[in-house]
Structure formats: C-alpha cells, structure tokens
Amino acid sequence: MPREARRKSLSNVYHCMLRGINQQDIFFEDKDYLVFQNIIKKTKKVYLYQLYSYVLMPNHIHLEIKDENQKLSQIIHSIATSYAIYFNKKYERKGHLFENRFQSKNVESVYYILNLVRYIHQNPLKAGICKMERYQWSSYFDYFNNTRTREEEEIVDTKEVFNMFLSSKQESKERFLEFNQQIFKFQKSIELLEFEMKNKLTDEEVIYFLKKELSIHNIQGIQKYEKDTRDEIIRKIKQMKGTTQKQISRILGLNAKIIRKA
C-alpha cells in the first residue's frame, strides 16, 4: 500500500522527529553533536529552510522547521543520511541508524509554534538530564546566550520567533525568556503538542507484560473478569508506550468497543 502524502502545513512549519533504531543512542560524544549541527547548517544552505528550534537528545532529535519550498522529505533525508554515513564509519557499524520514515506534524498557528519551541527546549528537563539552560545541544542558547559567535548563531532563525511577541527587540526577548521558562503542562486542549515517536510493541511483548508485571497467565480468561477489573487491566496495558487499541482487542479477544470504553 503506497504511503499517504504528507499534508501541507498552512504556516509551512513542521515538527520533525528522528529516533535511533531500537531506541539506540545516536550521539556518544561531543563531536557527534557538533557534526550533526554542521550537517544542519549545510542543508539549510542547500534547501533554504528556516529552523525555529531544535534539541539533540542522546537517542532522538526534534526539529521545528519552516519549509516554504515544500522539500521537507528531502531535507530530513539529507540530514539523516549524512549523519548515518558519518556515524557508521566512525563506530564501524552497518545498516540503518534511524527508525524507518521520519515523523512530522503540521504546526498551524503562532500559538503552537511558540509552545513547540518551549516544548523542544524543555526536553532535557523532562528527560531528567538537566535544566534546559544547562543543556548544550539545543537551540536554547541561540535565543538566550550572547556568547555564541555569528557562525554558531546561523543554525537557528530566532528573529521571526521573537517578532511573534509583537514588541521591541529587547522586550520580545524578555517576554520570550519568561514564556520559555514556564513549565508547560500538556493538556487535552493543546494541539497534540507532545507528539513523540512511539515504538510499536509486538503481541509477544504485551503478553510478556501481562504475565510478568500483572501475573496474568490465562490471557483469554480476562474475558470472564468482572467489568471493573477487566477495564483496569485494559487501562494498564494501554499505558504502555507502543500499544494500540486494535492490538489490545486482538490479544485479549475482546470487542474493540469494549477497549475504547475502558
């Protein structure tokens, strides 16, 4: 079945994510991060896109890209391929470095653009690594660190984001700094901002979880449990990253409607 074409963002802004295959780390030392940053700079010159924010985490990457030329797939393919060649040569490995096709989400509003910048900057904090202002490998310093050289600042286009605050240059920077430091709580009213890559779990892995963590060895017997007990089990399974309602329905032998209600 052919892949569905990506829908164009009305703002031309996209939240793109790359993740190491099997969740493996894709950065091991400072030079790896620096090489990736240089690759971004080179692709910006070739494809003429803007980068509003980014973060390079040990095993995944977030990029907030404005692409008016509709070349997003080429941009990400070029970045991923260039880095994979470097990484495989350096660490003497073969094969894919990143998981399949990259994931992206359209960013349609100024509200979403600004919240996404904040979300991306807060990834190290969320992961328990350090505060965002102490994390070296994100665009946070491009916005707030005056010690970077002009060469280093070229990686991120900060001016347009500051202008979204409709204030003087200094006031915009101050307002954005205050906004950026607010702890962002992901609520249902937010436009699916926490759009993270999820690995799909196999049926065997889900069954292992049921047996190991929930001590349920007769999987089909769940069908005969009382409703409240059954629904609680379903909710616990769904909390596992990478499971789907269809998969749970298949494993438990329960109607999909029951799974959705639970």
Both tokens of residue 151? 């060469």
94 contacts 81 by C-beta, under 8 angstroms = no
The model's pLDDT over 150-159, given as tens digits with 9 standing for 90+, comes to 445 568 998 8
Low-confidence ranges of the chain (pLDDT < 70): 1-6, 145-154, 166-171, 183-201, 240-242
Q: Which domains does the chain have, with CATH numbers?
A: 13-181 (3.30.70.1290), 203-261 (no CATH)
pLDDT of 198 reads 46
pLDDT of 161 reads 86
pLDDT of 33 reads 96
Eight-class DSSP state of 188: T
> For residue 145, which phi and psi values (nearest 5 degrees)?
-105, 115
**Cα 234 to the chain's mean position, in Å?**
26
pLDDT of 1 reads 40
